[in-house]
Structure 1
Amino acid sequence: MSNRKRLSNTQSSSQARKHPGSPSTQEEDEDVTFTQPSTSQVQRGLQKVTEAQVEQKTAEVVQYFLVKEQRKVPVRRADLVKHVLKEHRNIYPEILKRAARTLDQVFGLKLVEIDPKNHLYVLINNLETSEGASPINSTDPKRGLLFVILSVIFMKGGVVRENVIWNLLKKLRVDPGEKHEDFGDVKKVVTDEFVRQRYLEFVRIPHTEPVEHELRWGQRAEKEVSKSKILDVMGQLHDRDPQSWSQQYREAHSSQNSTQQPGSSSQR
């Protein structure tokens, strides 16, 4: 086999091992070529279009976010620019600002950039993060499953081996090895669907044989789910003062304060 062929096979294998939900090389390249317009560039761009054109493009961006939100799929800036903004990319900041305002005022959804490096955006329901709301307020049974998993990870210090989750679910009569009437393929939901939605991270533990993985909170969970409310629920379940879990209590209220700081949502 020639060196060129080996290199080609190595590259193909590397691409095949990409994590579920990770950007393709083409998408990464497209985002790299996109330069955030400056304020002066945006102003010049706005002079070349009508207000009606800006409103139309803003409506398209809002619709794009809402469609993605139905599947809880984060929106990548590269996709937004390529598929929606197109020739109006030079006024991207203004359109995103208007879209964020519409999503907030009309739909009660906050636009948040969960990954500034790769420019990933999600919508967060303002009602779900308001005082007194449940950590994950939804009639979808999968949300309940997610809440259980996030709670275990949080209470155990932020990272757990996968077998801890599988054993817990078995105790709750949810066998990861069997198809569940509400969740379907439980392992796929946890390790693929929740990972693609950025609620969980499913990471291989190096040098383990057989291969093992660990689970952590994903970027979306960090923005959307209240740790202090999870701690309140744990306190009610165990009849304990939430402050008795000192480490978790400090983390919960530290993260709560940080998410309330100005600029936690991005309109860039």
Structure 2
Amino acid sequence: MSHSDEFSAFKVEEKNEDAQEGQRLESGRLCSAEMGMAELPSSTTASFPFEEIPGEVAAAGVSSDVKGPQCSPAKAQHFMVAMAEKLDSHPKIGSSCSPKEKGLKDREEPAQAGASLQEALYGKMSGLVEFLLLTYRTMPLTSKEVMLNTILNNDEENFSYILSQVSQCMRVLFGIDVKEIYPKSHIYALFTTLGLTYDGMVSPQHTMPTTGLLVIVLGIILLEDDCASEQAMWKQLGLMGVHPGRKHFIYGEPRELLTNVWVKEHYIAYQREPGSYPARYQFLWGPRAHRETSALEVLNFLLNI
């Protein structure tokens, strides 16, 4: 499953990478900014051209036509270190520091290096989220070798940590579980969380799965004694930055999901509260939700959040 040469689209010229790295890392904080999670960035909406993704993907990997992450965080870090070394050796810059200035500089360098490494990790996480979202939409199988060679710059040391953080992000935000199905060959598959049969793709134009929000909505209904009023539902979702009538960068217009899309999918029942006047509406589990999952599984999902 290696075939890393099929990912030549990821290899852009060095000078383009340096200019684009700042934009990529800035856009890569969408996960943490919108969902209140630990700082786990994702530039999925900012830099990944889903509309240009071809419909078919070879069994060994992604076509070279796919335009993945536009830069390499590791190479950007290498460039920054190299530039720092050149500045330090410059006769008018590096060697002209007084002993006091040199001491201050030496104390600052470890912190700066740590920040650069952290940014590099964030960039790799962001790129891996993008890649796994593409994989989920095309061919839900990948391998450790492919992820290392094409996204993570062969960062074997940090692979487990990066994958664990990205897997948590994929599960909570998108409702996708990343599981190693063949440990010996390190083959990973992407599944809809909780075994739901709904893939979360509302339409071809909506490029990100909404299953994560669906499970959260089912959980809110459970916490409201199996029947959540509209007021209670939107109050809880508002804590996540999800508001009716306001388009969300991952989920689109949430009212449409709750009152139309998921009702038609039979995961949610949206009905008038008995005896309410003026009319008030409430949310309940639909028959498909009862058939495919359980209260315990959904509550465990919420606890993981």
TM-score norm. by structure 2 comes to 0.32
Q: Which of the pair has the greater relative contact order for Cα pairs under 8 Å at 6+ separation?
A: 1
- Bigger Cα Rg: 2
